[in-house]
Structures are given as structure tokens and as C-alpha cells.
Structure 1
Amino acid sequence: MAEIAPITAGAELPPLELRVRRADLVRYAGASLDFNPIHWNDRVADEVGLPGVIAHGMYTMAIAGRLVTDWLGDPGRLVEYSARFIRPVIVPNDDEGALVELTGKVRDVREDGTARVDITARFQGKAVLGKAIAIVRTR
């Protein structure tokens, strides 16, 4: 097993950029059983006043969580994770998809062997998750 680098307050996680494409939304719908047409049908999204087809909020949260689990190298070290959905990720019907930019920073390391990581997820330069916080085991 590889040696884990110490986690220190103020440490920045390596940034991660992920593309969300319509095919990702279809796969997520199948896995989650959330087949709401706002996640795949432009006409329905338009009829309900959305600017286009939007990614599932939980999918967006999941890919933001990947920033932390990739950094940790062991998803089992993720103890707690929460976020608020504040803006949708609009996914165009093309090969490029939507670019989600993820960054994170260790806010504090606690005496109980955990650390708080604040996560930022942006689409088109604007935050899509609010109060995205991961609690991780430091060892």
C-alpha cells in the first residue's frame, strides 16, 4: 500500500476538469432511475423554463466528490459529504458537453483524525454547488 502524504490545513487539492455530456446523463438516469425529461429532452426543458437540458444535481455532486476521492486515493476515507444545488449545469446536445471545473482546499485538520475539505464546482465561471464540504479521514 502506498504511503499517504500528510493532510495539512490550507493544502489545495489538484484541480479537476470534467466534461458532462448527454450520454453521461442517460447513463446516470439509468443508474439512479431518475428519467425526468429535463435531463435529456430540450423541448421539455424549454417548456418548464430551463435554459436547456440540465445535469442531475446528484450527478453534479457526485463528480465534485470525485475531486476528493481521487485526491485521497481511497474512497473509503470519505466520511461525510454534503452540498447545496445553487445553479444547474446546462448540457448542450453536442460532442463537447459542459465543462465543470473543480477545486478544493483543506479548511482544517481536526484532533479526531478528520479534516474538512471545501469544494468549489464551477460551470461557465459560476458556482453550481454551495457549501460543498467533505469530511475525510486523515489516516
Structure 2
Amino acid sequence: MDKDTELPERSFRITRADLVRYAGASGDFNPIHWHDRTAAENDLPGVIAHGMFTMALAAQALVDWTGDPAGLVEYEVRFSKPVAVPDDEIGAEVVVSGVIQSPTAEGRTRIEISATCAGQRVLGRGSGAVTRNG
């Protein structure tokens, strides 16, 4: 694919500190997002990022591409796999990419989104519609 049909790849780091900040902002203090033993008791691969936080990172890639936060007019994803966040300074890396479709007559551009972590797809069937000036 060439640069005109591909969303520029974005990489986001998520650390445990980010999870604490997101929990405070969202009010979601579920211990699977901060407590290793609780995560293990729930058969998770470790402490996991909030799904909505992961979703927001993918949305940020779309907003950055449009250059306008109001440019994201439609957005949906399915959660495929959790993002395990190790207890270290490095955290987890989420990579967002996408395929840009042709603009519609209404001036919207649909983008099929992919987000991966450690080579595993963490958001599936993701798509967004954007309007873009310039």
C-alpha cells in the first residue's frame, strides 16, 4: 500500500502509571487494571489496560490524521484481546494502523483500523469515518 491509502502507523506506550491515571479519570477502578493477583484469578495474562483506553488510543491516531478532533464523526471497534501491561517502566506498546478508503460524496472518508500489541490484534473490526480539511 502507498501513503495515500494507508493511515500513518502510530505507536503508543501504556504503563501501569497510565492505567492509574485512566482509572482516576474514568472512575473504573476494577482491580484487573492494577492488581496482579486479581488479574490472575480472572485468567488474564496479567494486569490489563482498560478496553476504552485502548479504544481511545486508536481514536487518537484518527484524530491526529485528520488534524481536527471534530473530524472524527463515526467510530467503532470490537475488543479482540486484552492489552497486558507489565509492571515495569517500559509497559506495553499498542500499534495502530489502518486502510484509508475513498472519500464519499458527503466528504467522509472511512478508515478500517487495526491495533496490535506484541503482534496480537487487540482491536478487531475497527472503523471510523472522518472529515478532513486540507
TM-score tier after normalising by the smaller chain length: over 0.9
CA contact (8 A) 1:108 1:117 kept: no
**Residue 28 of structure 1 pairs with residue 36 of structure 2:** no
CA contact (8 A) 2:10 2:61 kept: yes
In the TM superposition, what whole-angstrom CA distance separates every residue of 1:54-100 from its partner, at most 9, and x where no partner exists? 00000000001111111111111110110000100000000000011
2:7 to 13, 20, 33: 13
CA–CA distance in structure 1, aligned partners of residues 85 and 49 of structure 2:
6
- The answer for unaligned runs of 5 or more in structure 2 is none
CA–CA distance in structure 1, aligned partners of residues 83 and 111 of structure 2:
22
After the TM superposition, which parts of structure 1 deviate over 3 Å for at least 4 consecutive aligned residues?
Answer: none
- The answer for unaligned runs of 5 or more in structure 1 is 1-9
**Residue 121 of structure 1 pairs with residue 115 of structure 2:** yes
CA contact (8 A) 1:92 1:98 kept: yes
**TM-score, structure 2 as length reference:** 0.93
Cα RMSD after superposing both structures: 1.0
- 5 Å-filtered alignment, 1:120-139, equals 120-139=114-133
Q: Residue 83 of structure 2 aligns with which residue?
A: 89
Structure 1 counterpart SS, 2:98: strand
Cα deviation for residue 13 of structure 1 reads 1.7
Q: Which amino acid aligns with 1:74?
A: D
CA–CA distance in structure 2, aligned partners of residues 108 and 36 of structure 1:
41
Q: Residue 40 of structure 1 aligns with which residue?
A: 34
Cα deviation for residue 105 of structure 1 reads 1.7
Q: Residue 48 of structure 2 aligns with which residue?
A: 54
**TM-score, structure 1 as length reference:** 0.90
**Residue 66 of structure 1 pairs with residue 60 of structure 2:** yes
CA–CA distance in structure 2, aligned partners of residues 132 and 33 of structure 1:
25
Cα deviation for residue 138 of structure 1 reads 3.4
Q: Residue 3 of structure 1 aligns with which residue?
A: none
**Residue 101 of structure 1 pairs with residue 95 of structure 2:** yes
Q: Residue 80 of structure 1 aligns with which residue?
A: 74
Structure 2 counterpart SS, 1:31: helix
